[in-house]
Amino acid sequence: MTHMTHIAALHPRTYSMPTALALLLLLFVFSGCSSSDSSVSGEPTTALKGYWVLDRSGGIHNYGDAENYGDGSGGVDAAGIAATPSGKGYWILSATGVIYNFGDAQHFGDGLTSIRAVGIATTLSGEGYWILDIGGGIHNFGDAVYYGYGSGGVDAAAIAITPSGEGYWILGSGGGIHTYGDAAYFGNGVGDYGATAIAPTPTGEGYWLLDFGGGLYTYGDAENYGDGTEEQEGIDIVATTSGSGYWILSDTGIIYDYGDAEYYSPVTEIDVAVGMAVIR
């Protein structure tokens, strides 16, 4: 026996005028949301670019798109600065380990016991930070994980976080490198001037070390794009996100840009600069 399958006839669907208009409106809205127009997505059309320079008294000097969200000028013996991931806030660290938070930076804890703080580094999420003391001790707050500290009487100068956020390097004032977590060792040493700062490459497979004379020392996959601070002391170094350049800060607040590091504006000379932070 042959079975016949009945197939219903297909008829075009018609809509009333109000329904058709509503459908056209929905089509317009959805097509607009899928576009790259920043006014629909709510995101800025251009990335923020700029940096902050911190002076010894806690004063903030902002350049480029970096905004001044407040400072501790006049009453802070400042030791370091770190920016939030959004670039819309920062933490200022005092030599006594006190944290001052501005903009969208949150306070997760602070305080050291009778030892000088020398550096601060933030987690990738911006929900925590590590404070480094001059003895190499690590004080972690928020979601910052403790991976170890510079035991053995380290005269610590700076700390840098690995790209994964799961480790850090501690730089000794003599140029020694101490690795913790997933931080790898690629070499150390800065000559006779004494080390002041460290900046890792984006891959985590190398780093730059800066000395007081403004000299630069490269290890691993870090490349030398130039150095020098024109007979001023070298205080801090920050690498660009590409790793193809860096900024060097002098003790008078002057910024020296090398490689693809952008120069945002003339930096007013200040008495004593202690650190810088760059919008990422």
* H-helix segments, the chain: 17-33, 38-41
| Model confidence at 1: pLDDT above 50 | no
The span from the CA of 153 to the CA of 160, in Å, is 19
**pLDDT tens digits along 144-184:** 999 999 866 789 999 999 999 999 999 999 999 999 999 99
Q: Tokens standing for 153?
A: 């009487």
Take residue 217 and report the two structure tokens written for it. 């020392």
What SS3 class is residue 136?
coil
Statement: residue 36 has pLDDT above 80: no
Among 8-22, 89-103, 132-146, the range scoring the smallest mean pLDDT is 8-22
The predicted pLDDT at position 229 comes to: 78
Q: Does 278 have pLDDT greater than 50?
A: yes
Cα dist. 255→84, 97, 234, 235, 252 in Å? 21, 26, 10, 10, 9
**What pLDDT does residue 53 have?**
95
CA distances from 192 to 15, 169, 210 (A): 84, 21, 12
Q: What is the mean pLDDT of the chain?
A: 85
Longest Cα–Cα distance in the chain: 103
Tens digits of residue pLDDT in 62-120: 999 999 999 987 789 999 999 999 999 999 999 999 999 999 999 999 988 789 999 99
Domain at 50-278: CATH code: 2.130.10.10
CB of 217 within 8 A of CB of 257? no
- Please tell me the number of Cα atoms within 13 Å of 21 on its side-chain side: 3
195 band by pLDDT with thresholds 50, 70 and 90: very high
pLDDT, average across residues 41-65: 83
Spatial contact of 131 and 144, defined as CB atoms under 8 Å apart: no
More confident position, 193 or 242: 242
Span 180-206, mean pLDDT? 96
Each domain of the chain, given as residue ranges in start order, spans 50-278
What are the φ and ψ backbone dihedral angles of 23, each rounded to 5 degrees? -65, -40
Assess whether pLDDT exceeds 70 at residue 18: no
pLDDT, tens digit (0-9, with 9 covering 90-100), for 239-254: 999 999 999 999 999 9
| pLDDT above 70 as % of the chain | 82
Using CA atoms, how far apart are residues 155 and 230, in angstroms rounded to an integer? 27
Task: Say if residue 5's pLDDT is above 60.
Answer: no
**Average pLDDT rounded to a whole number, residues 185-208:** 96
Higher pLDDT, 219 or 45: 219
Whether 27 shows a pLDDT value over 60: the answer reads no
pTM: predicted TM-score of the whole model, two decimal places:
0.82
Segment 231-240 mean pLDDT: 94
Q: According to the model, what pLDDT value does residue 11 have?
A: 38
Lowest mean pLDDT among 42-46, 71-75, 217-221: 42-46
pLDDT for res 32:
41
